[in-house]
Structure 1
Amino acid sequence: MDFTESDDIRQLRDTLRRFVDKEMPRDLVAKWDKENRFPREVFEKLAGLGVLGLTVPEEYGGLGRNIIGTMVVIEELARRSLAVALPYINAACYAGMNIVECGTQQQKEEILPRVVDGSMIFAYGWTEPDVGSDLASMRTRAERRGDTIVVNGAKRFCSGAGVSDYIYALVRTGPEEERYRNLTLLLIPPTQAGVTIEPINGLGLKGFPTTDVTFEDVELPLSSIVGGVEKWNGAWPMVLGSGLDVEKLEVAAMAIGIGQAALDDAWTYAGERQQFGKAIGNYQSVQHKLAEMKTRLHAARLMLYHAASLADRHLPCTGETSMAKLFATEAGKAISLECQTIFGAYGYVKDFDVERYVRDSLALPIIGGSSAIQRNNIYKWMKRQ
């Protein structure tokens, strides 16, 4: 097995690092975090690199499916700020990949070119106040009244709804007891009459604000059904498509980016911070912490890109993506917390980025399917082997 990166991937990573250094300096990133502001002007510059086209076929202006390249972009952006990494995911993956796999021809023609040029972002409207991992228990309801769809219900933790073009909403379109046979995916504009968006003030993931969304008699045309009218009550197979596997990898890539940033900062600080007449990096206890952080990060990265290579080729990868998501997010959290211990009291104040790494990393084992859900997935996958 050859684990070396191809020349194209190395060049992509180098391009992203130059972009981050120029357009996402640390002082500006800290401001986005403090203000919880989406830096759209930076996102538009990112689109100019063409990387939003890594999930879009060439016929729509993209570069063709490249899941490994997509993960590289997420990792390198997250290494500096989730305020740009998250909207990249919401555009390239949530909008691009889902519409490629599930959209009608008209939806592809209208949406995919806008994904590539950076003018199209989706928010995921799946989680609800009483529904998390059990998506088949969805309670937000939609009904057809002639050529109009009417939606009522609520979504929670709908990140980016206030700055997105559509909420990619999973809704109930029949009796609750039928569960899997009456779910439908809709494209709901956040500006549509009857849509109310309220911010949620979370601990981390700042810069791409998460929200509560309420739908009250929201009226939509039939063209809002993802996949067309024939997919009314037919969303469950789309929910279980390869996009769900890639979503796990997106979160893993963010965790690796944050973990790499934490390790980099801890390494630098250990070489500079003087105690008892020498740099703290000369003490074996600190050296062991750094070695453990490096080892966890290396293992997480191998798991991520192995799973991404399977997803890239449309090969079965449910077990591999769950293992990557579980291991990488728990490793990212552990690395960030270890980085904080190396910084000591300074790791607890906002003058240092490590404080943000900790806040952001704590969310990653939860979003995109919790660690408990991933363990369930892995066990069920093992039983099928």
Structure 2
Amino acid sequence: MRPAFDEAEELSLLRGTMRRFVNDHMPRPEAARWDAESIFPVEVFRKLAALGVFGLSIPEEYGGAGRNIPATMIVIEELSRRGVAMSIPYVLAACYGGMNILECGNEDQKRALLPKCAAGELMLAFGVTEPDVGGDVASVKTTARRTGDVIKVNGTKRYITGANIADYIYTLVRSDDALPRYKNLSILLIPRTAKGVEIRKLDMLGLRSGAWTTEIIFDDVEVSVQNIVGGEAGWNEGWSYIAGPGLDVEKLEVGAIALGIAEAAVDDAWEYAETREQFGKPISNYQNIRHMLADARTDLHACRLMLYSAAGLAQAGRPCGIESSMAKLFICERAKQVVLNCQLIFGAYGCDLDLDMQRYVRDILILPIAGGSSAIQRNNLANRMRLRL
């Protein structure tokens, strides 16, 4: 399937490189095993790092290949066509690590951490959501109490992706109860192995890769003031970091994962329809099937245009909050319907645990919720476009 638009030559070359990597190092049986056994394929991850693609989110001065958000989305999209076992760890390093530290870290943190992110040697988990806090991010209850140069953290985070393999948890905390809402938040880099950090695996319907969905308990965890994202200037400035451009790009990351999964489902359903025979002819002869597949290709085309249009705005440093929310909302919702229709084309085979289609379904159902639910995106859009209350 050709791209939905004319990509720059270097982006098309990157897409071809990623497709060859997936074919050579992520065979279907292995991808199914990684999902079934929640495996993080470390050796494949190292081979991916050797391509240099982790540096696509990081400027050359910090050891990267040059900040290129559309290229980063291509890597996520193409890896996700074979499942999330590699695309989610890639996001933990290149995006949660590279993009967040680049945008929010102080110079010392950038010099120390970004070269490791660019090499695929450091990953961050995004520690925001809590048992009673989803979309209302500013209401986090995890506390950070500072005494001199030591900060003590207590609280619980839930539905945090990849904390079991991350080096740090990029943790939003309430750092001063005396200050007003939005002015009382900080972000800390909490080492996964710090004393008092307990990580529990949550058994989820989808996204069952080796980057687990987790609950994290912080019990009197102590970190240095050097672990404040942004340094001293970042204390009680966490809201400006969370609500900044990095969050807009996170929406695109989730959209790229959803798009990759939906593309894989359509490719499989297309091939199945041309080879599965009923009543003496391939089911691709039947109008209902033809229409479902034509609609699916149309939806994928629209999704690609929205994703890479918003990514282009982010790359140019232009405001893209509205466009990224639109892209996240549209792509995840349409991709979900595309995958469910592809499952219908497969019939009973679409529910067979030995085939990939059921994994596409399980994974896609999570994505309209992850990274800000569809309802939150609709609220964001109405608010940002100043719809009167």
Same fold, TM exceeding 0.5? yes
* Corresponding residue of 2:29: 27
Give 1:270's aligned residue: 273
Letter in 2 for 1:267: W
**Deviation of 1:43 (Å):** 1.0
1:32–1:372 CA distance, 2 compared to 1 (3 A):
same
Aligned mates of 1:156, 1:287 — CA distance in 2: 42
Indicate the percent of aligned positions where both proteins have the same amino acid.
56
Q: CA deviation at 1:235?
A: 1.1
Higher helix proportion: 1
- Give the residue type in structure 2 aligned to 1:355: Q
Count of residue pairs the alignment pairs up: 384
Q: Tell me which residue corresponds to 2:294.
A: 291
Residue 117 in structure 1 maps to residue 119 in structure 2? yes
Deviations 1:12-50 (A, max 9, x none): 000000000000000000000000111121111111111
Map 1:1-385 onto structure 2 (within 5 A): 3-175=5-177, 178-207=180-209, 208-383=211-386
Report deviation, 1:177: 6.6
The code of the aligned residue for 1:109 comes to R
CA distance in 2, matches of 1:378, 1:196: 37
**Structure 2: how far apart are the matches of 1:313 and 1:254?**
22
CA distance in 2, matches of 1:356, 1:3: 29
**How far is the alpha carbon of 1:127 from its aligned partner?**
0.2
Query: The residue matched to 1:383 in structure 2 has which SS?
Result: coil
Structure 2 distance, partners of 1:176, 1:210, is 33
Secondary structure, counterpart of 1:157 in structure 2: strand
Q: Is the 8 A contact 1:137 1:176 kept in 2?
A: no
User: Distance in 1 between the 2:187 and 2:88 partners?
Assistant: 21
Letter in 1 for 2:377: Q
The CA distance in 2 between the partners of 1:158 and 1:267, in whole Å, is 35
Structure 2 distance, partners of 1:50, 1:291, is: 36
Spell out structure 1 runs of 4+ moving beyond 4 A: none
Shift of 1:3: 3.8
The letter for the 2-side match of 1:205 is L
- For 2:127 and 2:70, the matched residues in 1 are separated by 26
Cα distance change on mapping 1:295 and 1:147 into 2, 3 Å: same
- CA contact 1:253–1:304 (8 Å) conserved in 2: yes
Query: Quick one: structure 1 residues 240 and 212, their matched pair in 2 at CA, closer, same or farther if it must change by over 3 Å?
Result: same
Q: 1:101-154, CA deviations, whole angstroms, 9 ceiling, x for partnerless residues?
A: 111111111111111111100001100000011111010000111111000000
Q: CA deviation at 1:241?
A: 1.2
Question: What is the CA–CA distance in structure 2 between the aligned matches of 1:289 and 1:351, rounded to whole Å?
Answer: 24
Distance, in Å, in 2 between the alignment partners of 1:227 and 1:384 is 34
User: 2-side partners of 1:142 and 1:58: how far apart?
Assistant: 34
**Counterpart residue identity of residue 262, structure 2:** G
* Structure 2: tracts of 5 or more residues without a match: none
Counterparts of 1:153 and 1:368, CA distance in 2: 21
The 2-side partners of 1:157 and 1:179 are apart by 23
Q: What residue identity is the alignment partner of 1:38?
A: F
Counterpart amino acid of 1:262?
A: A
What stretches of structure 1 of length at least 5 have no aligned partner?
none
Distance in 1, matches of 2:364 and 2:328, equals 13
Output one character per residue of 1:140-170: Cα deviation in whole Å (capped at 9) or x when no partner: 0001111110000000011111111000000
What whole-Å deviation, never above 9, does each CA across 1:87-114 have from its counterpart, x for those lacking one? 1111101000011111111111111111
CA contact (8 A) 1:38 1:209 kept: no
Using structure 1 for the length normalisation, give the TM-score.
0.98
> Residue 107 of structure 1 aligns to which amino acid in structure 2?
Q
Measured in 1, the distance between the counterparts of 2:15 and 2:387 equals 37
